[in-house]
Structure 1
Amino acid sequence: MEEKGSIICIGQGVVRGFFLTLALLIIYAIVTYFLKSNPKIDSIYFVVITAFSVMYGSIYSVKKIQKRGWLIGLTVAIVYMLVVFLVSAVNGRGFDISSYGILRIALALFVGTLSGMLGINI
């Protein structure tokens, strides 16, 4: 029964991370509607959004579960990135992973692991 609760908390963390992503993307869309957009800034902003969303989802899940912080954070990051890439594939981009994609995945896994350790200690 305990594992089922952990899976639900991980799922809630991922969903909360996606809602944060959605909110930050809407804010960015509004800003870029009025200001000129730069592709280099766009890619940096998307990496930052990914990091904040994984951090928020990981900390939320770990605070609920209260154990195995690094593992829960890593799991949230893996599930989050899998869903992001699946949505991208369905959206027509396919599974083309570039060096930017690998950087984004590595950063998400790193941030998820550290956020899990942070979440267990705060």
Structure 2
Amino acid sequence: MVKRSKISCVSVGLIRATIVTLICFLAYTLIATFCFGTIENMKVNSIFIMIFSCFSIFYGAVWAARTSGEKGWLMGLSVSILYIVIIYIISIVAGREAALVGRDFVRAIIAMVVGTLSGMIGINI
């Protein structure tokens, strides 16, 4: 396999993770709206947001680590940190407060752990 530059691998992995997130959220919104008539249950939404984010980070980190050919944990960690930053910026633009609460730090730590482990898995596939 041809090794690519690390910036290229992380960038494409991040783009792939973002696309997977958009597809998952679109599918969830359509299913929840047409089947249940509403998506206002915040506990269920929070669980699905975390599941979709972890799955997206997993996919992007595995792809970035696999294409880079080395330092999978670092590729996965980079993808997860950039993913968190992008989601945070998008949520601020969408109208959320800029202040971080404890739940946000827990989500960030979970995302970084998932990204690091996914990078390790991706390099060994």
TM-score with structure 2 length normalisation? 0.90
Deviation at 1:98, TM superposition (A): 1.8
Q: CA RMSD in A?
A: 1.3
Give the aligned partner of residue 55 of structure 2. Answer: 52
**Secondary structure in structure 2 of the residue aligned to 1:96:** coil
Return 5+ residue gaps in structure 2 as ranges. none
Aligned length: 119
Name the counterpart of 1:12: 12
TM-score when normalising by structure 1: 0.92
Cα distance in 1, alignment partners of residues 66 and 26 from structure 2: 27
Identity of paired residues, percent?
A: 34
- Indicate the SS of the match to 2:70: coil
Moved more, 89-98 or 75-84: 89-98
Aligned to 1:84, the other structure's residue is in SS state: helix
- Cα separation, 1, equivalents of 2:9 and 2:66: 9
Structure 1 unaligned residues grouped into runs of 5+: none
CA displacement 1:28-79 (0-9 Å, x = unmatched): 0011102154211110000011100110000000110010011110010001
Runs (4 or more) in structure 1 with deviation over 6 Å come to none
Q: Distance in 2 between matches of 1:40 and 1:30?
A: 18
1:91 aligns with 2:84: no
